């Protein structure tokens, strides 16, 4: 996909050399049948793919509109879509003879996936995580430590996801043996393209599965967005089809309160973490703080391919408040016996909003990007 003005490499020259080397090796890997065979082996035998595409009959009746299917990324090993990308990037790091993996994490799902694959492949692992997120996601932090990862608390700024990314990039500049395993479709090139590539398995499977079950394509698909890896992974195979695409950011306490995580809402383009994209910033281009009850969505930017899809009008980007996400979390849990991650609950909430726009014989795919056991304590204290 041509991202137009978005993306790029807005980084120091010494980091650009490392990024160009990663890009070279990534392109080689995508043409290497043995690399791809190994990647697919681990997706099937270790991750447990393909993940099901489940017709949520009770939830469909509750919504009162189109048939709703859930792409069950929550059933992957480690409980989210993040493992798809972690497997791909750690294989690439091994190809490059790297001996130390670093990663950032917000909700902890990417940190958990990274710690898991580093344990599997016996590579040193360091996870950068904001102090606020460490407090909110204790279960995932404990799992990372059990897996042998060092979890570094980031106290700068807000102590959330964006600050963890900053810290990880600084560490990368200072340590040449390190491979930075970015968890979302963000950052300087080639990371957005690379993460997308390792997540497109979601959309490829969903397309085949919906055709097998319904004999036709969905009318719409919905996925939550922090940086946007689960969503671009789902959307990619459908961009050229006549399918409505909805990317859902966190509206937090309300867009007009300033306590939100919707970079699209303000429509301001800037530089964040080495890429040009939509960024939450004030009139002086100062980065604004992002907020969402969901640790995985409180990122003050969006992946460059999503920025491009928004600008071209191919995707509709909207947002859901904390209250709406909490309510959707509870509804799906009670209606289907499926506890969704708070991130995914934003997409579930949007499905509730738009289901009646479509006919009952139509279908919608909602990406259930992760499971919600990590968020149960948050739900009870909210």
Residues catalogued as catalytic: 82, 104, 369
Comparing CA positions, the residue from 338, 337, 364, 334 lying closest to residue 352 is 364
Residue-level length of the chain: 382
Angle at 84 between CA 78 and CA 88, to 5 degrees: 125
Distance CA 287, CA 156 (A): 14
| Distance of alpha carbon 76 from alpha carbon 369, whole angstroms | 9
The alpha-carbon radius of gyration of the chain (Å, integer) is 19
């Amino acid at each position: 996909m041509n991202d137009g003005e978005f993306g790029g490499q807005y980084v120091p020259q010494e980091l650009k050399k490392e990024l160009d080397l990663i890009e070279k090796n990534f392109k080689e890997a995508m043409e290497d049948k043995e690399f791809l065979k190994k990647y697919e082996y681990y997706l099937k035998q270790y991750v447990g793919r393909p993940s099901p595409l489940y017709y949520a009959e009770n939830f469909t009746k509750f919504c009162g509109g189109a048939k709703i299917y859930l792409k069950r990324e929550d059933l992957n090993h480690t409980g989210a879509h993040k493992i798809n990308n972690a497997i791909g990037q750690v294989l690439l790091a091994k190809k490059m003879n790297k001996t130390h993996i670093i990663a950032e994490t917000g909700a902890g799902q990417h940190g958990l996936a990274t710690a898991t694959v580093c344990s599997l492949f016996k590579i040193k692992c360091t996870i950068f995580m904001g102090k606020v997120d460490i407090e909110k996601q204790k279960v995932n932090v404990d799992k990372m430590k059990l897996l042998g990862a060092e979890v570094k608390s980031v106290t700068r700024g807000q102590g959330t996801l964006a600050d963890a990314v900053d810290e990880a990039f600084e560490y990368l500049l200072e340590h040449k043996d390190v491979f930075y395993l970015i968890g979302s479709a963000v950052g300087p090139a080639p990371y957005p393209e690379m993460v997308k590539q390792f997540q497109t398995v979601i959309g490829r499977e969903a397309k085949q599965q919906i055709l097998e079950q319904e004999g036709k394509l969905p009318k719409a698909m919905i996925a939550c967005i922090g940086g946007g890896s689960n969503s671009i992974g789902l959307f990619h195979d459908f961009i050229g089809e006549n399918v409505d695409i909805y990317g859902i950011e966190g509206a937090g306490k309300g867009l007009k309160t300033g306590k939100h995580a919707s970079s699209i809402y303000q429509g301001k383009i800037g530089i964040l973490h080495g890429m040009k994209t939509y960024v939450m910033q004030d009139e002086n281009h100062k980065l604004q703080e992002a907020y969402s009850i969901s640790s995985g969505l409180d990122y003050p930017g969006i992946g460059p391919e999503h920025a491009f899809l928004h600008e071209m009008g191919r995707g509709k980007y909207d947002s859901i408040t904390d209250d709406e996400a909490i309510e959707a979390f509870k509804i799906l849990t009670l209606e289907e016996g499926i506890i969704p991650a708070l991130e995914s609950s934003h997409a579930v909430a949007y499905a509730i909003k738009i289901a009646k726009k479509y006919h009952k014989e139509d279908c919608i795919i909602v990406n259930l990007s992760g499971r919600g056991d990590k968020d149960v304590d948050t739900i009870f204290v909210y």
